[in-house]
Amino acid sequence: MHEEKLKKLYELKNLAESGGGKERIEAQHSKGKLTARERIDLLVDEGSFIELDKYVTHRGDDPETQKFYGDGVITGFGSINGRKIFVFAYDFTVLGGSLGEMASKKIVKIMDRAIKVGAPLIGIIDSGGARIQEGVMSLDGYGDIFYRNTTASGIIPQITASIGPCAGGAVYSPAMTDFVIMVENIGQMFVTGPEVVKEVLSEDVSFEELGGTSTHATKSGVAHMVAANEYECMEKIKKLITFLPQNNLQEPPSLETNDDPNRLDPSLIDMLPENPYQPYDIKSIITSIIDDKEFFEIHETFASNIIVGFARMGGKTVGIVSNQPMFLAGVLDIDSSNKAARFIRFCDSFNIPIITLVDTPGYLPGSDQEQNGIIRHGSKLLYAYCEATVPKITCIIGKAYGGAYIAMGSKNLKTDINFAWPTAEIAVLGPEAAITIIHRRELKSSLDAKTIKKKLADEFRKKFANPYIAAEKGIIDQVIDPMETRTMIIGALNSLSGKREIGPWKKHGNINL
């Protein structure tokens, strides 16, 4: 009797784990894609995954909609390098991974549990969208998921892997998570597909152009990272997790390092060009001061004039925000302000100290930026720095002009410790622009304006555009030798450990979205 019941259990178990069946699994593989369960196996520690709601089926009334165990989504929990995580993965072999009422209930259940126990949530997207046959109940399910995304925000890290289609209202759940990783050639996200775009707007556009990895990694900023394939995607998630705490009540994990916290780098000063307007790659400075040259960049190909990412200093996770003079001279614009502000707010949510490196000539001028809202978007960066209560350390390396000086973690935004290299130039305007205004009459009447302008600019730079005036006022805490940047920042981090800052009570602020 018991043997028969056990036999039935394993028959149903095998049936559930076969997804949409052998034919559909082969079709998935023929597209170069793994199945939902294969993806989960790649992600979690071997043997750690425990599936929930394996035998759930849809309860729709349409007799033509075949019932499958699992109802198109695999949910459960496991571990990554021994750390507990919760995961859901859409199963494209079952009804195209479409979302119905019961599938959404499965996802919501796993999200609620992740929030309650305080563990990262990972969603693997490969879905045809809302299940049309279930009508409003499918839409109702997405609404429940969006609500949980919002509830979980700032409590647990939420990571999305886009490894297939994601269309319509379904795209807003990934967009509400902290990090989105898209796989080249197979990850797609769009609100309306090419066919609808063509019918409504008479515009011919391919799936890739409309919502592929390149579009979202370089133009829209929806994708934080791009992976060449599914294997690399899972490795990126595993790497990302190593920098993050389990939840907002924990500190990020510390790792032992053989990289001496007192290591000096005399070559740092030589990385900065003599000409302050000559482009250079600030990543060489970043990798020099962090542990083991290991920098995990976020949004690498979006708004490249600013760099954000995770690293370790003295074994502790830090978030790096830095202007990048290699692109657009490191100016702040709409996209870079949004990119940095969002990263800063993530770091602040999860107790990750923020290290800011500054070399920027200011905000990008022009009618395009003004008309598209540089004032509104630029204010987000100010808001993010002001709101952040984690340890904040800023080092001005080169130019720090005007409003961009203020926005890049200045002392006025309650940054804890502000360093500057001797090469720092802190001013309302760059020397050339400043003397053009101050000495406009003299330059206008001169026969040799170019020579006089250069001379006056050099005098302005020596007299005003240096870090010592700010240091005299206590706005810069210390002017440091570039070679000791790593040592000084790690020392500052240690001094700020345990920092607690509580502001006046409020429901929430009103960031200028």
The answer to whether the beta carbons of residues 76 and 52 sit under 8 Å apart is yes
* The pLDDT of residue 449: 65
Identify the active-site residue in 114, 161, 404, 470.
Answer: 404
Label residue 443 by pLDDT band (50, 70, 90).
Answer: low
User: Residue 164 and residue 212: Cα distance in Å, rounded?
Assistant: 10
Helix, strand or coil, per DSSP, at residue 351: coil
Label residues 441-458 b or e (16+ Cβ within 10 Å = b): eebeeeeeeeeebeebbe
Q: Which two tokens stand for residue 268?
A: 């740092």
User: Residue 159 and residue 180: Cα distance in Å, rounded?
Assistant: 6
In the residue annotation, 169 being an active-site residue is answered as yes
- From 442, 437, 417, select the one nearest 427 (Cα to Cα): 437
pLDDT at 132 over 90: no
Identify the active-site residue in 76, 129, 168, 330.
Answer: 168
The answer to whether the beta carbons of residues 370 and 339 sit under 8 Å apart is no
User: Residue 311 and residue 237: Cα distance in Å, rounded?
Assistant: 15
* The pLDDT of residue 428: 79
User: Residue 36 and residue 90: Cα distance in Å, rounded?
Assistant: 6
pLDDT at 121 over 70: yes
417-441 pLDDT, tens digit per residue, is 999 999 999 987 767 766 777 767 6
Report, in this order, helix, strand and coil percent for the chain, each rounded to 5.
45, 15, 40
pLDDT at 444 over 80: no
Residue 172 has phi, psi (to 5 degrees) of -75, -25
Q: Residue 472 burial by CB count (10 A; 0-12/13-18/19+): exposed, middle or buried?
A: exposed
Q: Is the dihedral of CA 507, 508, 509, 513 positive or negative?
A: negative
Question: In 10 A of CB 384, how many CB atoms?
Answer: 26
End-to-end CA distance of the chain: 64
232-258 pLDDT, tens digit per residue, is 999 999 999 999 999 999 999 999 999
In the residue annotation, 409 being an active-site residue is answered as no
The answer to whether the beta carbons of residues 210 and 117 sit under 8 Å apart is no
Label residue 464 by pLDDT band (50, 70, 90).
Answer: confident
User: Residue 282 and residue 288: Cα distance in Å, rounded?
Assistant: 10
- From 346, 351, 345, 328, select the one nearest 380 (Cα to Cα): 345
Identify the active-site residue in 403, 433, 449, 491.
Answer: 403
Question: In 10 A of CB 260, how many CB atoms?
Answer: 12
371-406 pLDDT, tens digit per residue, is 999 999 999 999 999 999 999 999 999 999 989 999
Label residue 448 by pLDDT band (50, 70, 90).
Answer: low
The model's pTM: 0.94
pLDDT at 276 over 90: no
pLDDT at 260 over 80: yes
User: Residue 296 and residue 293: Cα distance in Å, rounded?
Assistant: 10
Identify the active-site residue in 118, 135, 169, 491.
Answer: 169
Q: Which two tokens stand for residue 237?
A: 């998630």
* The pLDDT of residue 439: 65
194-238 pLDDT, tens digit per residue, is 888 888 888 888 888 888 999 999 999 999 999 999 999 999 999
User: Residue 369 and residue 290: Cα distance in Å, rounded?
Assistant: 34
17-27 pLDDT, tens digit per residue, is 888 899 999 99
Listing DSSP states for 381-401 in one string gives HHHHHHH--S-EEEEEEEEEE
User: Residue 289 and residue 271: Cα distance in Å, rounded?
Assistant: 13
Q: Which of 5-9, 317-321, 403-407, 448-452 has the lowest mean pLDDT?
A: 448-452
Query: Domains of the chain by range and CATH?
Result: 2-243 (3.90.226.10), 268-428+466-495 (3.90.226.10), 431-464 (no CATH)
Q: What is the mean pLDDT of residues 505-512?
A: 93
